Amino acid sequence: MSIASVFSRATLTRDFTASIVVFLVAMPLCMGIAIASGVPPEKGLITGIIGGIVVGAMAGSPLQVSGPAAGLAVIVFELVRDQGLSVLGPILVLAGLIQLLAGVVRVGGWFRAVSPAVVHGMLAGIGVLIVVGQFHVLFDQKPLPSGLENLAAIPGRLLGLSATSIAGAELAVGIAVLTIAAMLGWEKFRPAALKLVPGALIGVVAGTVAAAAFGLSVTRVEVPASIMAAIVPPGADMFARWLDPAILASALAIAFIASAETLLSAAAVDRMHDGVRTDYNKELRAQGVGNLLCGLAGALPMTGVIVRSSANVQAGAVTRLSTILHGAWILAFVALLPWLLRAIPMASLGAILVVTGWRLVNLTHVRHLLKDYGVLPAAIWAITLIVVVAEDLLTGVLVGIALSLVELLPHWRRFGLKVDRRDDGDESGIRLAGTASFLAVPKLTTTLDALPAGRAVRFDVSDLAAVDHTCAEIIREWVARRRAGGEPVHIAGATPAAERLAA
């Protein structure tokens, strides 16, 4: 994209408008995710500022928005609970360096090889943990130490409510119910002219106005008078703490999960627009710098986040300027209007997170896996979810990845994938032979990304013995994007693998 087009009046107007929308979506989520992570809300705001201004300027995915993510809330909560808030700085600095190094040595494509069943199962498990944890915030109470404990305590919370003695818990629940009703009602019935106004903002405003108007005695958000007071650099013992195996394992886990979620989100954002595609290694380097800075500031980890990114695309953003500006708006709001943040009831932010967590449990995806790819990918999704809830996030992901190897066992004799490309006139031909598994994703995506636009493409899969659902999803999404752009793609070969790709 030329400099002239980036700074044209039309582009600036669209990016400016989109940045306001993303800012309004991001503000309640940054604070809510921080609270769900067991840290003060200003920590999430700092991450949102860095994700907007710094990562937005360096990003390899032009329209993706970065900030604190629900996907890491559970692992951060456990770290802070077990080792204290001071542990976040050293862990995030190390995780950021790992991501930066991974981008430099160009392994970004490998993160796309993580099975979609594992990623969506992980997100669903995180969603369950957020719902059962934030459920207690709706009662002005703190979440319990584990997901199973939170789940077991839910009936007691409900039975403890009284219809005759309206006190703190009952008032908080009333604010939470009002927040959820306003949020969902707005999303369902909002006027077309106001379709870009986010439901989360309406919910928080409704809960805040009601609490203020009736003078309700409920717990409210606590933020410092100055955002600078929330910046707490790691101590002088940071390098010594890196020698702790637990710190190293946590940094590796955050780097892996944040990278996988970021790059899968970037792939989803690419499907939403026809502009510049993501440079995965550049995006990984930008995320590394962002998490490094978050660690130095003592803030939350960041990833690319699909909710804010989709709002950015839907609002008409054209360049990364919209992402940069949304970070600037967060900084300006926190610096100039901290008193307004202190009026927000905690129950309202908990209610927003309950809805957000529930939406992470995407049953549509598991139905898609079951219908198009069979029982095994759906089982991987379900088992990953269960292990994340019952044990922990990293164990769930590792179990899911191990189960993904089961798909390869029947085809171990033809384990590799051969990818041949030829260009003939106005048509490019791609021949696939062997087994297309998640292990072959970097080779496959490199070939597909190198195909020039404006040419017909013919896939010859007559010698393709098998294709797992990871590769099948990548090819099908690529084919759909090309066809949507008016470019013909033909899949040749009467094999079960060809039927799976053409479905």
Q: What is the CATH number of the domain that holds 476?
A: 3.30.750.24
* Nearest alpha carbon to residue 65 among 48, 46, 43: 48
Q: Is residue 154 domain-shared with residue 265, that is, in the same domain? A: yes
* Nearest alpha carbon to residue 461 among 425, 419, 424, 428: 419
User: Is there a contact between 233 and 298 (Cβ–Cβ < 8 Å)?
Assistant: yes
Average pLDDT over residues 11-23: 87
Q: Count of alpha carbons within 13 Å of 81, Cβ hemisphere only?
A: 15
Q: Is residue 154 domain-shared with residue 268, that is, in the same domain? A: yes
**Residue 499 is encoded by which pair of tokens?**
């039927």
* Nearest alpha carbon to residue 438 among 413, 471, 394: 471
Confidence of residue 269 (pLDDT cuts 50, 70, 90): confident
Q: Is residue 454 domain-shared with residue 316, that is, in the same domain? A: no
Confidence of residue 2 (pLDDT cuts 50, 70, 90): very low
Q: Is residue 331 domain-shared with residue 449, that is, in the same domain? A: no
Q: Is residue 376 part of a domain?
A: no
Q: Is residue 383 part of a domain?
A: no
Helix (H) or strand (E) holding 67: strand 65-67
Of 325, 341, 357, which residue constitutes the final position of a domain?
341
Q: Is residue 432 domain-shared with residue 288, that is, in the same domain? A: no
Strands (E), 280-362: 303-305
Average pLDDT over residues 310-333: 91
Q: Is residue 464 part of a domain?
A: yes
Q: Is residue 363 part of a domain?
A: no
User: Is there a contact between 109 and 442 (Cβ–Cβ < 8 Å)?
Assistant: yes
pLDDT at 27: 87
Q: Is residue 32 domain-shared with residue 164, that is, in the same domain? A: yes
3-state secondary structure (DSSP) of residue 225: coil
Measured distance CA(312)–CA(56) in Å, rounded? 12
pLDDT at 185: 96
Of 341, 366, 391, which residue constitutes the final position of a domain?
341
* Nearest alpha carbon to residue 45 among 58, 35, 55, 57: 35
Q: Return the percentage of the chain with pLDDT > 90, whole number.
A: 36
Q: Is residue 191 part of a domain?
A: yes
Q: Is residue 295 domain-shared with residue 434, that is, in the same domain? A: no
Strand partners, 66: 304
In this model, does residue 307 exceed pLDDT 50? Answer: yes
Q: Is residue 332 domain-shared with residue 419, that is, in the same domain? A: no
Helix 88-104 with 73-83: angle, nearest 10 deg: 140
Of 341, 363, 388, which residue constitutes the final position of a domain?
341
pTM over 0.85: no
Q: Is residue 116 domain-shared with residue 250, that is, in the same domain? A: yes
Helix (H) or strand (E) holding 107: none
Confidence of residue 494 (pLDDT cuts 50, 70, 90): low
In this model, does residue 235 exceed pLDDT 60? Answer: yes
* Domains held by the chain: number: 2
Please state the separation of Cα 272 from the chain's center in Å: 16
Chain mean pLDDT for the chain: 87
Q: Is residue 445 domain-shared with residue 335, that is, in the same domain? A: no
Q: 286-295, 409-418, 428-437: which range is least confident on average? A: 409-418
Q: Is residue 211 part of a domain?
A: yes
Q: Is residue 194 domain-shared with residue 324, that is, in the same domain? A: yes
Measured distance CA(147)–CA(158) in Å, rounded? 17
Burial of 371 (0-12, 13-18, 19+ CB in 10 A): exposed
Q: Is residue 59 part of a domain?
A: yes
Residue range(s) defining the domain that contains residue 455: 415-502
User: Is there a contact between 75 and 261 (Cβ–Cβ < 8 Å)?
Assistant: no
